[in-house]
Amino acid sequence: MPADPPSLLLIAALFVAAAAGWLFGRYRSSAGPGNPEPNKLSEEYFRGLGFLLDEEPDKALEVFLRMVDVDNDTVETHFALGNLYRRRGEVERAIRVHENIMARPSLSDDHRLHAMFALGEDYFRAGLFDRAERLFLQLADGGGRHVQALRYLLRIYEQQRDWEQAILAHRKLVAVASPEHPTAIAHYHCELAEQMRAKGDFTGAREQLHHARDAQRNFPRGALIRADIALDMNQPELAALLCQRAVELHPKLLTLALPRVMRAMRGTDAVEIERRFRAWMRPDPVARAELAYAAIVAGLEQEPFVRECLPDLLREDPTLGEIVSATSGDPSHLTAEQCTALATALGRILRRTQRYRCVDCGFASAAHFWQCPGCRSWDAFAPVALLDLAPGMYRR
Protein backbone atom coordinates (compact mmCIF):
# COMPACT_ATOMS: atom_id res chain seq x y z
CA MET A 1 0.00 0.00 0.00
CA PRO A 2 1.73 3.24 -1.08
CA ALA A 3 2.22 5.79 1.63
CA ASP A 4 0.81 9.28 1.29
CA PRO A 5 3.31 12.19 1.53
CA PRO A 6 2.33 13.22 5.10
CA SER A 7 2.82 9.61 6.27
CA LEU A 8 6.24 9.46 4.62
CA LEU A 9 7.30 12.70 6.26
CA LEU A 10 6.10 11.44 9.62
CA ILE A 11 7.95 8.15 9.21
CA ALA A 12 11.09 9.91 8.03
CA ALA A 13 11.05 12.39 10.90
CA LEU A 14 10.44 9.60 13.41
CA PHE A 15 13.28 7.40 12.29
CA VAL A 16 15.78 10.19 11.68
CA ALA A 17 15.12 11.52 15.18
CA ALA A 18 15.15 8.06 16.75
CA ALA A 19 18.28 7.02 14.91
CA ALA A 20 20.11 10.26 15.68
CA GLY A 21 19.23 10.17 19.38
CA TRP A 22 20.03 6.50 19.74
CA LEU A 23 23.28 6.72 17.82
CA PHE A 24 24.40 9.75 19.81
CA GLY A 25 23.84 7.89 23.06
CA ARG A 26 25.56 4.78 21.75
CA TYR A 27 28.46 6.77 20.44
CA ARG A 28 29.06 8.43 23.79
CA SER A 29 28.84 5.18 25.74
CA SER A 30 30.34 2.70 23.31
CA ALA A 31 32.62 4.50 20.86
CA GLY A 32 36.19 3.31 20.98
CA PRO A 33 38.96 1.91 18.86
CA GLY A 34 37.69 -1.66 19.22
CA ASN A 35 33.90 -1.07 18.89
CA PRO A 36 32.56 -0.17 15.44
CA GLU A 37 28.94 -1.21 16.33
CA PRO A 38 27.39 2.32 16.14
CA ASN A 39 28.47 2.76 12.53
CA LYS A 40 26.99 -0.62 11.61
CA LEU A 41 23.67 0.24 13.22
CA SER A 42 23.69 3.67 11.62
CA GLU A 43 23.96 2.05 8.22
CA GLU A 44 21.09 -0.35 9.02
CA TYR A 45 18.81 2.43 10.24
CA PHE A 46 19.30 4.60 7.21
CA ARG A 47 19.07 1.61 4.90
CA GLY A 48 15.64 0.80 6.38
CA LEU A 49 14.65 4.45 6.18
CA GLY A 50 15.63 4.50 2.52
CA PHE A 51 13.33 1.56 1.81
CA LEU A 52 10.45 3.40 3.51
CA LEU A 53 11.05 6.52 1.46
CA ASP A 54 11.20 4.39 -1.70
CA GLU A 55 7.80 2.91 -0.75
CA GLU A 56 9.25 -0.57 -0.24
CA PRO A 57 7.77 -1.33 3.23
CA ASP A 58 8.43 -5.09 3.05
CA LYS A 59 12.19 -4.56 2.62
CA ALA A 60 12.16 -1.88 5.35
CA LEU A 61 10.33 -4.27 7.66
CA GLU A 62 12.94 -7.00 7.18
CA VAL A 63 15.74 -4.55 8.01
CA PHE A 64 14.12 -3.27 11.19
CA LEU A 65 13.08 -6.74 12.35
CA ARG A 66 16.71 -7.87 12.10
CA MET A 67 17.77 -4.87 14.15
CA VAL A 68 15.54 -5.89 17.07
CA ASP A 69 17.96 -8.73 17.67
CA VAL A 70 20.93 -6.38 17.69
CA ASP A 71 20.40 -4.34 20.84
CA ASN A 72 17.73 -3.74 23.50
CA ASP A 73 17.89 0.01 22.90
CA THR A 74 16.14 -0.36 19.52
CA VAL A 75 12.85 -1.69 21.02
CA GLU A 76 11.12 1.68 21.48
CA THR A 77 11.76 2.61 17.86
CA HIS A 78 10.21 -0.66 16.75
CA PHE A 79 7.13 -0.01 18.85
CA ALA A 80 6.74 3.24 16.93
CA LEU A 81 7.27 1.41 13.64
CA GLY A 82 4.58 -1.16 14.47
CA ASN A 83 2.10 1.51 15.51
CA LEU A 84 2.71 3.42 12.28
CA TYR A 85 2.05 0.29 10.24
CA ARG A 86 -1.22 -0.25 12.13
CA ARG A 87 -2.38 3.34 11.62
CA ARG A 88 -1.73 3.00 7.89
CA GLY A 89 -3.86 -0.16 7.82
CA GLU A 90 -0.89 -2.47 7.28
CA VAL A 91 -1.91 -4.69 10.17
CA GLU A 92 -0.01 -7.80 9.08
CA ARG A 93 3.27 -5.86 9.17
CA ALA A 94 2.38 -4.40 12.57
CA ILE A 95 1.70 -7.91 13.88
CA ARG A 96 5.09 -9.11 12.61
CA VAL A 97 6.87 -6.25 14.36
CA HIS A 98 5.15 -6.77 17.71
CA GLU A 99 5.34 -10.59 17.59
CA ASN A 100 9.06 -10.26 16.90
CA ILE A 101 9.47 -8.04 19.95
CA MET A 102 7.45 -10.48 22.10
CA ALA A 103 9.74 -13.33 21.05
CA ARG A 104 12.81 -11.71 22.61
CA PRO A 105 13.85 -13.65 25.75
CA SER A 106 15.67 -10.66 27.28
CA LEU A 107 12.68 -8.29 27.06
CA SER A 108 12.01 -6.26 30.21
CA ASP A 109 8.67 -6.62 32.01
CA ASP A 110 7.55 -3.14 30.97
CA HIS A 111 8.42 -3.76 27.34
CA ARG A 112 6.67 -7.15 27.43
CA LEU A 113 3.43 -5.56 28.72
CA HIS A 114 3.76 -2.84 26.08
CA ALA A 115 4.27 -5.44 23.35
CA MET A 116 1.29 -7.52 24.56
CA PHE A 117 -0.98 -4.48 24.45
CA ALA A 118 0.27 -3.37 21.02
CA LEU A 119 -0.17 -6.89 19.66
CA GLY A 120 -3.69 -7.02 21.11
CA GLU A 121 -4.48 -3.78 19.27
CA ASP A 122 -3.11 -5.31 16.06
CA TYR A 123 -5.27 -8.42 16.45
CA PHE A 124 -8.33 -6.30 17.24
CA ARG A 125 -7.77 -4.16 14.15
CA ALA A 126 -7.40 -7.31 12.05
CA GLY A 127 -10.66 -8.77 13.42
CA LEU A 128 -8.83 -11.60 15.21
CA PHE A 129 -10.95 -11.14 18.32
CA ASP A 130 -10.13 -14.47 19.96
CA ARG A 131 -6.40 -13.69 19.93
CA ALA A 132 -6.96 -10.12 21.06
CA GLU A 133 -9.23 -11.30 23.87
CA ARG A 134 -6.59 -13.68 25.25
CA LEU A 135 -4.00 -10.91 25.45
CA PHE A 136 -6.35 -8.31 26.93
CA LEU A 137 -7.62 -10.79 29.54
CA GLN A 138 -4.03 -11.23 30.75
CA LEU A 139 -3.50 -7.47 30.84
CA ALA A 140 -6.84 -6.83 32.58
CA ASP A 141 -5.71 -8.74 35.68
CA GLY A 142 -3.42 -5.91 36.71
CA GLY A 143 -0.56 -3.69 35.64
CA GLY A 144 -0.39 -0.29 34.06
CA ARG A 145 -2.61 -1.11 31.06
CA HIS A 146 -5.53 -2.91 32.71
CA VAL A 147 -8.00 -0.04 32.15
CA GLN A 148 -7.27 0.15 28.41
CA ALA A 149 -7.42 -3.65 28.22
CA LEU A 150 -10.87 -3.68 29.85
CA ARG A 151 -12.10 -1.05 27.38
CA TYR A 152 -10.92 -3.21 24.49
CA LEU A 153 -12.58 -6.28 26.01
CA LEU A 154 -15.87 -4.37 26.13
CA ARG A 155 -15.53 -3.51 22.45
CA ILE A 156 -14.79 -7.14 21.60
CA TYR A 157 -17.77 -8.47 23.55
CA GLU A 158 -20.07 -5.84 22.06
CA GLN A 159 -19.08 -6.77 18.52
CA GLN A 160 -19.49 -10.46 19.32
CA ARG A 161 -22.79 -9.73 21.09
CA ASP A 162 -21.54 -11.63 24.13
CA TRP A 163 -23.56 -9.55 26.57
CA GLU A 164 -22.90 -11.64 29.67
CA GLN A 165 -19.15 -11.25 29.26
CA ALA A 166 -19.66 -7.56 28.50
CA ILE A 167 -21.49 -7.15 31.82
CA LEU A 168 -18.62 -8.82 33.72
CA ALA A 169 -16.00 -6.66 31.98
CA HIS A 170 -18.06 -3.52 32.59
CA ARG A 171 -18.26 -4.26 36.32
CA LYS A 172 -14.48 -4.66 36.48
CA LEU A 173 -14.02 -1.40 34.59
CA VAL A 174 -16.39 0.56 36.84
CA ALA A 175 -14.36 -0.59 39.86
CA VAL A 176 -11.20 1.12 38.56
CA ALA A 177 -12.29 3.86 36.12
CA SER A 178 -15.23 5.69 34.58
CA PRO A 179 -16.83 3.83 31.65
CA GLU A 180 -16.78 5.51 28.26
CA HIS A 181 -20.56 5.03 27.89
CA PRO A 182 -22.35 5.12 31.29
CA THR A 183 -25.59 3.66 29.90
CA ALA A 184 -23.85 0.71 28.21
CA ILE A 185 -24.45 -1.69 31.12
CA ALA A 186 -28.22 -1.04 30.98
CA HIS A 187 -28.16 -1.77 27.23
CA TYR A 188 -26.34 -5.07 27.85
CA HIS A 189 -29.17 -6.18 30.14
CA CYS A 190 -31.74 -4.96 27.61
CA GLU A 191 -30.03 -6.98 24.87
CA LEU A 192 -30.31 -10.09 27.06
CA ALA A 193 -33.96 -9.22 27.77
CA GLU A 194 -34.63 -9.00 24.01
CA GLN A 195 -33.07 -12.44 23.49
CA MET A 196 -35.14 -13.99 26.29
CA ARG A 197 -38.34 -12.34 25.06
CA ALA A 198 -37.73 -13.79 21.60
CA LYS A 199 -37.58 -17.26 23.21
CA GLY A 200 -40.80 -16.63 25.16
CA ASP A 201 -38.96 -16.41 28.50
CA PHE A 202 -40.84 -13.39 29.84
CA THR A 203 -39.75 -14.05 33.43
CA GLY A 204 -36.09 -14.00 32.47
CA ALA A 205 -36.63 -10.92 30.31
CA ARG A 206 -38.25 -9.05 33.20
CA GLU A 207 -35.36 -10.01 35.47
CA GLN A 208 -32.87 -8.52 33.00
CA LEU A 209 -35.01 -5.37 32.77
CA HIS A 210 -34.88 -5.06 36.57
CA HIS A 211 -31.08 -5.18 36.34
CA ALA A 212 -31.18 -2.51 33.63
CA ARG A 213 -33.36 -0.29 35.81
CA ASP A 214 -30.99 -0.77 38.76
CA ALA A 215 -28.09 0.31 36.56
CA GLN A 216 -29.91 3.23 34.92
CA ARG A 217 -33.05 4.72 36.39
CA ASN A 218 -35.81 5.86 34.02
CA PHE A 219 -34.23 4.00 31.12
CA PRO A 220 -36.48 4.51 28.06
CA ARG A 221 -35.32 1.42 26.18
CA GLY A 222 -36.38 -0.72 29.12
CA ALA A 223 -39.87 0.84 29.00
CA LEU A 224 -40.19 -0.01 25.29
CA ILE A 225 -39.17 -3.63 25.89
CA ARG A 226 -41.66 -3.89 28.75
CA ALA A 227 -44.25 -2.55 26.32
CA ASP A 228 -43.34 -5.29 23.84
CA ILE A 229 -43.74 -7.91 26.56
CA ALA A 230 -47.12 -6.44 27.49
CA LEU A 231 -48.20 -6.68 23.85
CA ASP A 232 -47.01 -10.29 23.70
CA MET A 233 -49.10 -11.04 26.79
CA ASN A 234 -52.20 -9.27 25.41
CA GLN A 235 -52.03 -6.26 27.75
CA PRO A 236 -52.53 -3.40 25.26
CA GLU A 237 -53.47 -0.71 27.78
CA LEU A 238 -50.28 -1.32 29.78
CA ALA A 239 -48.24 -1.31 26.57
CA ALA A 240 -49.67 2.07 25.52
CA LEU A 241 -48.95 3.57 28.95
CA LEU A 242 -45.38 2.28 28.91
CA CYS A 243 -44.82 3.78 25.45
CA GLN A 244 -46.15 7.12 26.60
CA ARG A 245 -43.81 6.96 29.59
CA ALA A 246 -40.84 6.23 27.32
CA VAL A 247 -41.62 9.25 25.14
CA GLU A 248 -41.95 11.47 28.20
CA LEU A 249 -38.46 10.40 29.26
CA HIS A 250 -36.99 10.74 25.77
CA PRO A 251 -39.10 12.57 23.15
CA LYS A 252 -36.77 11.49 20.32
CA LEU A 253 -38.10 7.93 20.74
CA LEU A 254 -41.50 8.98 19.41
CA THR A 255 -40.83 7.24 16.09
CA LEU A 256 -40.22 3.95 17.95
CA ALA A 257 -43.13 4.30 20.37
CA LEU A 258 -45.87 5.17 17.86
CA PRO A 259 -45.97 1.80 16.02
CA ARG A 260 -46.23 0.02 19.38
CA VAL A 261 -49.13 2.25 20.42
CA MET A 262 -50.92 1.58 17.14
CA ARG A 263 -50.42 -2.16 17.66
CA ALA A 264 -51.88 -1.80 21.15
CA MET A 265 -54.85 0.08 19.71
CA ARG A 266 -55.44 -2.46 16.95
CA GLY A 267 -59.04 -3.60 17.03
CA THR A 268 -60.33 -0.49 18.79
CA ASP A 269 -62.51 2.04 17.04
CA ALA A 270 -61.36 5.36 15.61
CA VAL A 271 -62.84 7.30 18.53
CA GLU A 272 -60.70 5.39 21.04
CA ILE A 273 -57.57 5.88 18.92
CA GLU A 274 -58.27 9.59 18.69
CA ARG A 275 -58.80 9.74 22.46
CA ARG A 276 -55.47 8.06 23.01
CA PHE A 277 -53.62 10.47 20.76
CA ARG A 278 -55.28 13.55 22.21
CA ALA A 279 -52.85 13.13 25.10
CA TRP A 280 -50.00 13.36 22.58
CA MET A 281 -51.42 16.19 20.45
CA ARG A 282 -50.51 19.14 22.63
CA PRO A 283 -51.44 22.70 21.57
CA ASP A 284 -47.78 23.50 20.93
CA PRO A 285 -47.33 23.68 17.11
CA VAL A 286 -43.76 22.38 17.36
CA ALA A 287 -44.88 19.30 19.31
CA ARG A 288 -47.68 18.66 16.81
CA ALA A 289 -45.23 18.99 13.92
CA GLU A 290 -42.87 16.49 15.56
CA LEU A 291 -45.78 14.09 16.09
CA ALA A 292 -46.78 14.26 12.43
CA TYR A 293 -43.22 13.78 11.24
CA ALA A 294 -42.58 10.87 13.63
CA ALA A 295 -45.79 9.16 12.49
CA ILE A 296 -44.82 9.52 8.81
CA VAL A 297 -41.30 8.18 9.54
CA ALA A 298 -42.91 5.23 11.37
CA GLY A 299 -45.16 4.46 8.38
CA LEU A 300 -48.38 5.72 9.98
CA GLU A 301 -49.11 8.48 7.47
CA GLN A 302 -52.66 7.23 6.88
CA GLU A 303 -53.78 7.77 10.48
CA PRO A 304 -56.34 10.59 11.00
CA PHE A 305 -54.26 12.42 13.62
CA VAL A 306 -51.49 12.86 11.03
CA ARG A 307 -53.80 14.85 8.78
CA GLU A 308 -54.71 17.06 11.71
CA CYS A 309 -51.08 17.77 12.63
CA LEU A 310 -49.68 17.99 9.10
CA PRO A 311 -50.32 21.77 8.65
CA ASP A 312 -48.13 22.38 11.72
CA LEU A 313 -45.36 20.31 10.14
CA LEU A 314 -45.60 22.34 6.93
CA ARG A 315 -45.36 25.59 8.85
CA GLU A 316 -42.39 24.44 10.94
CA ASP A 317 -40.39 23.11 7.99
CA PRO A 318 -39.53 26.01 5.64
CA THR A 319 -38.62 23.75 2.71
CA LEU A 320 -41.85 21.78 2.82
CA GLY A 321 -43.90 24.90 3.44
CA GLU A 322 -42.51 26.68 0.40
CA ILE A 323 -43.06 23.65 -1.83
CA VAL A 324 -46.67 23.25 -0.69
CA SER A 325 -47.37 26.99 -0.95
CA ALA A 326 -46.08 27.00 -4.52
CA THR A 327 -48.19 24.01 -5.58
CA SER A 328 -51.27 23.91 -3.36
CA GLY A 329 -51.66 27.27 -1.68
CA ASP A 330 -51.70 28.15 2.02
CA PRO A 331 -50.70 25.04 4.09
CA SER A 332 -53.25 26.08 6.73
CA HIS A 333 -56.16 25.64 4.30
CA LEU A 334 -55.42 22.24 2.76
CA THR A 335 -58.33 19.86 2.36
CA ALA A 336 -58.35 16.45 4.05
CA GLU A 337 -57.69 14.83 0.68
CA GLN A 338 -54.71 17.08 0.05
CA CYS A 339 -53.28 16.32 3.51
CA THR A 340 -53.66 12.59 2.94
CA ALA A 341 -51.98 12.77 -0.48
CA LEU A 342 -49.15 14.91 0.87
CA ALA A 343 -48.56 12.61 3.88
CA THR A 344 -48.50 9.59 1.55
CA ALA A 345 -45.94 11.26 -0.73
CA LEU A 346 -43.77 12.22 2.24
CA GLY A 347 -43.93 8.64 3.49
CA ARG A 348 -42.66 7.34 0.15
CA ILE A 349 -39.81 9.87 0.18
CA LEU A 350 -38.76 9.11 3.76
CA ARG A 351 -38.75 5.37 3.20
CA ARG A 352 -36.09 5.91 0.52
CA THR A 353 -33.87 8.16 2.67
CA GLN A 354 -31.70 7.85 5.78
CA ARG A 355 -34.15 8.69 8.55
CA TYR A 356 -31.85 8.29 11.56
CA ARG A 357 -28.45 9.80 12.19
CA CYS A 358 -25.76 9.49 14.86
CA VAL A 359 -25.22 12.82 16.59
CA ASP A 360 -21.61 11.85 17.38
CA CYS A 361 -20.19 10.73 14.03
CA GLY A 362 -22.90 11.53 11.46
CA PHE A 363 -23.52 7.89 10.43
CA ALA A 364 -26.97 7.77 8.81
CA SER A 365 -29.36 4.87 8.30
CA ALA A 366 -32.94 4.05 7.38
CA ALA A 367 -33.18 1.95 10.58
CA HIS A 368 -32.75 2.83 14.23
CA PHE A 369 -29.84 1.41 16.26
CA TRP A 370 -29.30 1.67 19.99
CA GLN A 371 -25.56 1.51 19.32
CA CYS A 372 -24.17 3.40 16.34
CA PRO A 373 -22.59 0.98 13.82
CA GLY A 374 -20.09 3.69 12.89
CA CYS A 375 -18.58 4.99 16.14
CA ARG A 376 -20.06 2.38 18.55
CA SER A 377 -21.63 5.07 20.75
CA TRP A 378 -24.76 4.16 22.70
CA ASP A 379 -27.92 6.30 22.61
CA ALA A 380 -26.52 8.50 19.83
CA PHE A 381 -29.05 7.66 17.09
CA ALA A 382 -31.88 10.14 16.59
CA PRO A 383 -34.41 10.84 13.84
CA VAL A 384 -33.38 13.43 11.29
CA ALA A 385 -35.01 16.67 12.36
CA LEU A 386 -37.99 17.26 10.08
CA LEU A 387 -37.23 16.77 6.37
CA ASP A 388 -33.55 16.74 5.39
CA LEU A 389 -33.22 16.59 1.63
CA ALA A 390 -29.49 15.76 1.85
CA PRO A 391 -28.95 13.70 5.01
CA GLY A 392 -25.67 12.25 3.82
CA MET A 393 -24.12 15.72 3.82
CA TYR A 394 -24.37 16.06 7.60
CA ARG A 395 -21.33 16.26 9.84
CA ARG A 396 -21.23 17.30 13.45
Which residues belong to the annotated binding site? Answer: 358, 361, 372, 375
Binding residue numbers for Fe cation: 358, 361, 372, 375
Backbone angles phi, psi at 364, to 5 degrees: -120, 150
Distance CA 112, CA 349 (A): 56
Decide: 143 and 108 in contact? Cβ < 8 Å: no
Sequence-ordered list of residues with C-beta below 8 angstroms from that of 60, at least 6 positions apart, any chain: 48, 49, 51, 52
How many residues appear in the chain?
Answer: 396
Q: How far apart are CA 221 and CA 256, in angstroms?
A: 10
CA angle at 179 for the pair 178 and 184, rounded to the nearest 5°: 150
CA quadruple 359, 360, 365, 370: dihedral sign: negative
Closest by CA position to 362, among listed 377, 351, 346:
377
Gap between the Cα atoms of 381 and 159, Å rounded: 18
d(CA 302, CA 309): 12
Neighbours of 256 (CB within 10 A): 23
> Which residues face 371 on adjacent strands?
378
Tell me the sheet residues that pair with 364: 357
Residue 98 main-chain phi, psi, to 5 deg: -75, -35
The pair phi, psi for residue 108, each rounded to 5°, is -70, 160
